């Protein structure tokens, strides 16, 4: 059985009066009578007196020496341990005992008391501490005796034993790493300890303006050396270092809470799901270690960070005003019940259900192409004939049965939401949270299929539905247009079918176990923005050129659309709309109108006609535009 010991803190010879030394000797003796050893710095003064009392009563003593000489201690020491740590040996002393007793001292004692308070160690503070604010001692792990006497030794040790029994040791040592070996992940994303060779990775991260905007740290070797500690984990993809995650423990009693920062170093690696995969691995390990809550922060305009956190199950719970560089910060938190462990493999759905997914996509290509006929399973003939004939808008195609296709897997992974942090998906996520539904958040950036030829025909919604079905999700939530979207009577305009609620209905009849649900089919986009605004939920959109710290570039079509959707309902999204963007997209809008709505090469332009009919004129470039997006 391990022998118990108490750490003794206090002044060296000359920093403690005779009354304090007599008290220390009495306390040392009382500890020995109760079976405790004494651990101290062995520097004379309080330590010497406590050790002397302990030895006289038959106890054992250990001196943690500053330097490397075994004999730097007196005859009252049973064991000496040269640490060569100088002042840093205080950290060892803090953890070496079951609790600590602090006597009068000066700056060194003050630092040791602060360390014990900060790490929630059971602590007794005796006598006057002129350099310490008394309010600091009002902590559940601490008790103070303002005017102790040698005759109070038994009462002092009683109080310490009560604290030792009441203070629960943290499940993971504050300051210690959660991980003792590399953690691999299914999609090739892992976590490992930082090593000196990672300095180039940190230098790359902190020379990126997007990182510097949030985290202002000079990219010097001296500054970056701060990351060489056990609570900094390097994120790897297939063994290649791509970023890092640094965390801190809140040591308040009962907190079991971690705070973290996460950075993906290279711009080309952001938005690929690496950060969310690393967060999922980290959170699973943290919760397994006994922690119950993780928090993180990001800039209010950093849409990628928002998506990263939310896809891992983090919830946005507030705003810290003027937090970093005088800018606000979004606060996210994750508790164990919110953790979303995505079963996505290596960002490619083909590994899960390659046959059915590939067959559905192959037939879809033929429908959009020039095939005269397609063959599908007998039970699917009616569904594919309806879909193909509607898309082709009169161009003939024959749909026959007889094909033998495997089924999609059962929806045993529960609901999924394709989440982009845009208006529609943000609304759907908020509504589901109000209903107590916690879907897995999927992002098209994680799937190679969205980079291939299937993305260049139709809309993304068919790919979203088929990928989620192939992964075993159901139901599948998607943001879509309103039910009154004009699909028109041409193949080009019917190409928008997959973003129409009609597609959700068709797919749900085609694959009833993996039905697609849209919650926005009855709402106009400005109504969704108003709903989110009323609840204090930020609208960041999916700007084509967003960077950390700036959600809207002001110069792409998505910025133009968001600006003129929010304007009629009096909501300012903070979009720095440029005159160049206005001229570019307003000309296309006028072309649509002047053609009497026949030249509908972009279905979105009908949206502005309805807005102006409903709310009155909305275009005023002299008021709306800025000279540039800076």
Write out pLDDT tens, residues 152-172. Answer: 999 999 999 999 988 766 544
Write out pLDDT tens, residues 549-584. Answer: 567 888 998 899 899 999 999 999 888 999 999 999
Identify whether 526 is part of a domain.
Answer: no
Per the structure, the complete domain to which residue 138 belongs is given by: 5-166
Q: Based on the fold, state whether residues 575 and 552 are members of the same structural domain.
A: yes
Give me the sign of the Cα torsion angle 123, 125, 129, 134.
Answer: positive
Position 345 confidence tier, pLDDT thresholds 50, 70, 90 = very low
Q: Based on the fold, state whether residues 310 and 391 are members of the same structural domain.
A: no
CA distance 103 to 109: 8
Identify whether 184 is part of a domain.
Answer: no
Identify whether 183 is part of a domain.
Answer: no
Q: Based on the fold, state whether residues 332 and 356 are members of the same structural domain.
A: no
**What would the mean pLDDT of 415-429 be, rounded to a whole number?**
89
**282: phi then psi, degrees, rounded to nearest 5:** -65, -45
Q: Based on the fold, state whether residues 157 and 70 are members of the same structural domain.
A: yes
Least confident of 7-11, 242-246, 597-601: 597-601
Task: Provide the CATH number for the domain around residue 303.
Answer: 3.40.630.30
Identify whether 177 is part of a domain.
Answer: no
Q: Based on the fold, state whether residues 224 and 256 are members of the same structural domain.
A: yes
- Give the pLDDT score at 630: 44
Q: Based on the fold, state whether residues 228 and 317 are members of the same structural domain.
A: yes
Cis upstream peptide for 95 (omega within 30°)? no
Crossing angle, helix 461-470 and helix 354-368, to 10 degrees? 160
**25: phi then psi, degrees, rounded to nearest 5:** -65, -40
Identify whether 529 is part of a domain.
Answer: no
Query: How many Cα atoms within 13 Å fall on the side-chain side of residue 464?
Result: 28
- pTM of the predicted model as reported, rounded to 2 decimal places: 0.54
CB count in 10 Å sphere of residue 165: 9
Residue 100 has pLDDT above 70, yes or no: yes
Q: Based on the fold, state whether residues 259 and 408 are members of the same structural domain.
A: no
Q: Based on the fold, state whether residues 259 and 301 are members of the same structural domain.
A: yes
Number of domains the chain contains:
4
3-class secondary structure per residue, 476-509: EECCCCCCCCCCCCCHHHHCCHHHCHHHHHHHHH
Q: Based on the fold, state whether residues 609 and 565 are members of the same structural domain.
A: yes
Identify whether 123 is part of a domain.
Answer: yes
Task: Provide the CATH number for the domain around residue 67.
Answer: 3.40.50.450
Q: Based on the fold, state whether residues 216 and 281 are members of the same structural domain.
A: yes
Burial category of 609 from C-beta neighbours within 10 Å (exposed 0-12, middle 13-18, buried 19 and up): middle
Last residue of a domain, one of 132, 166, 200: 166
Q: Based on the fold, state whether residues 233 and 350 are members of the same structural domain.
A: no
**C-alpha closest to that of 59 among 34, 37, 76:** 37
Write out pLDDT tens, residues 429-452. Answer: 999 999 989 899 888 877 878 888
Identify whether 174 is part of a domain.
Answer: no
Identify whether 525 is part of a domain.
Answer: no
Q: Based on the fold, state whether residues 235 and 136 are members of the same structural domain.
A: no
CB count in 10 Å sphere of residue 134: 10
């Amino acid at each position: 059985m391990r022998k118990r010991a108490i750490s003794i803190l206090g002044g060296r010879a000359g920093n403690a009066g005779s009354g304090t030394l007599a008290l220390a000797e009495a306390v040392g003796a009382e500890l020995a009578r109760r079976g405790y050893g004494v651990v101290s710095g062995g520097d004379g003064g309080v330590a010497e007196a406590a050790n002397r009392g302990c030895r006289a009563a038959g106890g054992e003593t250990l001196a943690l020496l500053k330097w490397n000489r075994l004999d730097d201690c007196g005859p009252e020491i049973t064991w000496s341990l040269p640490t060569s740590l100088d002042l840093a040996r205080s950290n060892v002393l803090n953890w070496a005992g079951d609790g600590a007793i602090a006597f009068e001292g000066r700056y060194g004692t003050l630092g040791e008391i602060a360390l014990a308070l900060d790490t929630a160690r059971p602590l007794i503070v005796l006598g006057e501490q002129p350099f310490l604010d008394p309010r600091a001692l009002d902590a559940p792990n601490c008790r103070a005796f303002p005017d102790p006497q040698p005759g109070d030794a038994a009462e002092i040790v009683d109080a310490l034993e009560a604290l030792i029994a009441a203070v629960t040791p943290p499940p993971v040592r504050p300051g210690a790493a959660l991980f003792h070996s590399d953690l691999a992940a299914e999609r090739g994303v892992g976590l490992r300890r930082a090593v000196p060779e990672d300095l180039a990775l940190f230098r790359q991260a902190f020379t990126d303006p997007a990182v510097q905007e949030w985290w202002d740290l000079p990219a010097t070797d001296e500054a970056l050396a701060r990351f060489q500690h056990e609570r900094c984990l390097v994120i790897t993809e297939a063994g290649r270092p791509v970023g890092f995650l640094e965390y801190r423990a809140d040591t308040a009693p009962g907190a079991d809470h971690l705070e973290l920062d996460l950075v993906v170093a290279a711009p080309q690696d952001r938005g690929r799901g690496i950060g969310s995969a690393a967060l999922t691995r980290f959170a699973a390990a943290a919760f397994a270690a006994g922690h119950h809550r993780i928090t993180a922060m990001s800039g209010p305009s950093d849409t990628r960070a928002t998506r990263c956190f939310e896809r891992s199950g983090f919830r946005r719970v507030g705003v810290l005003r003027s937090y970093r560089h005088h800018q606000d910060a979004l606060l996210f938190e994750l508790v164990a019940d919110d953790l979303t462990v995505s079963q996505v493999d290596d960002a490619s759905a083909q590994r899960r259900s390659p046959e059915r997914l590939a067959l559905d996509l192959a037939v879809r290509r033929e429908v959009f192409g020039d095939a005269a006929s397609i063959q599908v399973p007998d039970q699917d003939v009616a569904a594919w004939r309806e879909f193909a004939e509607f898309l082709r808008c009169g161009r003939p195609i024959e749909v026959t049965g007889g094909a033998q296709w495997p089924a999609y897997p059962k929806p045993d992974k529960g609901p999924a939401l394709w989440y982009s942090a845009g208006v529609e998906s943000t609304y759907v996520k908020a509504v589901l949270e109000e209903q107590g539904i916690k879907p897995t958040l999927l992002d098209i950036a994680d799937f190679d299929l969205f980079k291939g030829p299937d993305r260049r025909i139709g809309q993304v919604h068919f790919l979203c539905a088929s990928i989620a079905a192939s992964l075993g999700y159901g139901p599948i939530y998607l943001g879509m247009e309103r039910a009154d979207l004009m699909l028109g009577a041409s193949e080009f305009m019917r190409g928008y079918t997959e973003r129409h609620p009609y597609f959700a209905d068709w797919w749900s009849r085609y694959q009833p176990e993996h039905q697609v649900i849209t919650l926005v089919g009855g709402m106009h986009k400005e109504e969704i923005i108003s709903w989110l605004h009323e609840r204090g939920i930020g609208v960041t959109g999916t700007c084509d050129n967003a960077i950390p710290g700036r959600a809207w570039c002001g110069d792409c079509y998505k910025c133009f659309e968001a600006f003129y959707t929010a304007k009629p309902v009096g909501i300012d999204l903070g979009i720095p709309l440029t005159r160049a963007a206005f001229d570019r997209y307003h000309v296309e809008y006028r072309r649509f109108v002047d053609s009497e709505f026949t030249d509908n090469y972009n279905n979105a332009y009908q949206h502005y006609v309805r807005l102006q009919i409903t709310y009155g004129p909305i275009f005023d470039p002299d008021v709306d535009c800025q000279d540039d997006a800076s």
